[in-house]
Amino acid sequence: MLMPKRLKYRKQHRGRRTGATKGGDYVAFGEFGLVSMEAAWVTSQQIEAARVAMVRHFRRGGKIYIRIFPDKPFTKKPLEVRMGKGKGNVEGWVAVVKPGRVMFEVAGVTEEQAKEALRLAGHKLPVTTKVVRRDAYDEAQ
């Protein structure tokens, strides 16, 4: 699973899910990208499931770029524990994704393969997504 090697602080505030993405909103490495259309927390397990879905679709060949990283810890209190007595233990790691964020990119495959692989990956994620092409995205910028 993806997670940071070391942190300054073990626990973080939850934050707000409002607003558009600050950077990471264009296809930088590959030919096609998977763009988020809404805000959500994407867990390291969901990122890995999407990556595996794309790898299995490509079989051999093709390069996958993961453009998000789960660097935010989320906590959870144990079952049947009363409220209070401090913040819970770190349960897992999430990447904060906002609308317009390019989450995955692919290169070295045909357009049909790329679109199908990104569609399969999108089904593993908790956000609605769309597939974009690099040149179409460059013209919009």
pTM exceeds 0.85, yes or no: yes
With respect to residue 27, please indicate whether it lies within any of the assigned structural domains.
Answer: no
Q: Identify whether 127 is part of a domain.
A: yes
Q: Are 134 and 33 in contact (CB under 8 A)?
A: yes
Supply the range of the domain harboring residue 117: 39-76+88-140
Give residue-wise pLDDT tens across range 59-114: 888 899 999 999 999 999 999 999 999 999 999 999 999 999 999 999 999 999 99
Residue 54 in any domain: the answer is: yes
Question: Does 14 map to a domain?
Answer: no
Confidence of residue 118 (pLDDT cuts 50, 70, 90): very high
Average of per-residue pLDDT across 116-134? 95
CA distance 85 to 81: 9
Is residue 1 one of the residues assigned to a domain?
no
In a domain, 6, yes or no: no
CATH classification of the domain holding 68? 3.90.1170.10
Residue 61 structure tokens: 């060949």
Please write the tens of the pLDDT for every residue from 13-66: 998 888 888 888 899 999 999 999 999 999 999 999 999 999 999 988 889 999
pLDDT value at residue 21: 83
Burial 103-124, CB ≥16 within 10 A → b, else e: bbbbeebeeebbbbbbbebbeb
The number of residues making up the chain comes to 141
What is the band of 141 on the pLDDT scale with cuts at 50, 70, 90?
A: low
Q: What SS3 state is found at 12? A: coil
What is the number of domains present in the chain? 1
Q: Say if 2 falls within a structural domain.
A: no
